[in-house]
């Protein structure tokens, strides 16, 4: 079966600086690949490079067997490669609902009212807390609620592969548990690449795991 996401000999960094190199990974449609690694290992840089938010230095990225290495970030989102960024990046002055409405412009799924409303209803079902706070501004949400909103916003794009960058960062243990429940519900619906420093969070959630150290990725046997 063609993997949903595949990277071959991928390298990336900032200008002359190489942060990671020779990264090869594949992700099947029902898999959750967990990547652990210390601060500065290059995890965010890898995800941003996969998402097309920064240029690769070498290698290729394929989505459903199609080489997307030369496409822009918005084209990758439209094709189904969606990232939930580190730090959530909620638009503070916009309400919860308005943050979701921003995704209409991405054009990944139908922007018409019926399909948009269906997806919003699915988001409320998955995150009842967001439904209650739908008219509150993004910056009035707790860290956990902001993380849920960031995930809900990504789901609006109907991902084929979802990239999650340290979703548990800074969250209280009880919220981490709640988030885990949500990801457990989503696992298997599409491919998930989960970057975390919280090993316990990943255990039982990831179907396969790897560790990033010094810009290289090492498979961890499970």
Ligand X SMILES: Nc1ncnc2c1ncn2[C@@H]1O[C@H](COP(=O)(O)OP(=O)(O)OP(=O)(O)O)[C@@H](O)[C@H]1O
- Partner touching 52 among Mg ion, ligand X, none, CB below 5 to 8 Å by kind: none
Applying CB under 6 A, which of residues 9, 40, 110, 203 lies at the interface with ligand X?
40
Which residues from 172-201 bind ligand X, rule CB under 6 A?
197
Residue 148 three-state SS: helix
> Hey, which bits of the chain come out as E strands?
5-14, 17-27, 32-36, 56-63, 66-67, 81-84, 161-165, 191-196, 208-213, 216-220
Applying CB under 6 A, which of residues 37, 59, 138, 167 lies at the interface with ligand X?
37
Applying CB under 5 A, which of residues 31, 37, 44, 108 lies at the interface with Mg ion?
44
Residue 56 touching ligand X (CB under 6 A)? no
- Partner touching 26 among ligand X, Mg ion, none, CB below 5 to 8 Å by kind: none
Residue 163 three-state SS: strand
| CA gap 114, 92 in Å, rounded | 27
Span of 2-10, 41-49, 73-81, 114-122 interacting with ligand X by CB under 6 A? 41-49
φ and ψ at residue 126, rounded to 5 degrees? -75, -35
Span of 3-11, 39-47, 66-74, 92-100 interacting with ligand X by CB under 6 A? 39-47
Q: Which is nearer to Mg ion, 44 or 168 (CB)?
A: 44
Span of 40-48, 63-71, 107-115, 212-220 interacting with Mg ion by CB under 5 A? 40-48
Minimum distance, C-beta of residue 46 to ligand X, in the bound complex (Å): 7
Residue 51 touching ligand X (CB under 6 A)? no
Residue 41 touching ligand X (CB under 6 A)? yes
Residue 39 touching ligand X (CB under 6 A)? yes
Residue 19 touching ligand X (CB under 6 A)? yes
Long-range (24+ apart) CB contacts under 8 A made by 46-50 are 46/10, 46/12, 46/20, 46/195, 46/212, 46/217, 47/83, 47/163, 47/165, 47/193, 47/195, 48/12, 48/83, 49/10, 49/12, 49/20, 50/5, 50/7, 50/10, 50/81, 50/83, 50/163, 50/193
Q: Under the rule (CB under 5 A), what is the footprint of Mg ion? A: 43-44, 86
């Amino acid at each position: 079966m063609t993997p949903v996401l595949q990277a071959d000999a991928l390298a990336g960094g900032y200008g002359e600086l190489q942060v990671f190199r020779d990264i090869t990974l594949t992700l099947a449609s029902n898999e959750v690949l967990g990547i652990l690694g210390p601060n500065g290992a290059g995890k965010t840089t890898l995800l941003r490079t996969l998402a097309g938010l920064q240029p690769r230095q070498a290698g290729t990225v394929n989505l459903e067997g199609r080489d997307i290495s030369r496409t822009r970030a918005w084209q990758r989102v439209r094709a189904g490669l969606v990232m939930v960024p580190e730090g959530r990046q909620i638009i503070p002055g916009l309400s919860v609902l308005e943050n979701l409405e921003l995704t209409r412009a991405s054009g990944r799924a139908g922007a018409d009212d019926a399909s948009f409303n269906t997806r919003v209803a699915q988001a409320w079902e998955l995150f009842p807390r967001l439904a209650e706070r739908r008219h509150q501004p993004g910056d009035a949400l707790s860290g956990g609620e902001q993380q849920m909103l960031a995930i809900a916003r990504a789901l609006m794009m109907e991902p084929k592969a979802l990239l999650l960058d340290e979703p548990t960062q800074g969250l209280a243990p009880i919220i981490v548990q709640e988030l885990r429940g949500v990801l457990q519900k989503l696992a298997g619906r599409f491919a998930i690449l989960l970057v975390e420093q919280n090993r316990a969070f990943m255990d039982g959630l990831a179907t396969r795991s790897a560790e990033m150290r010094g810009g290289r990725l090492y498979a961890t046997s499970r």
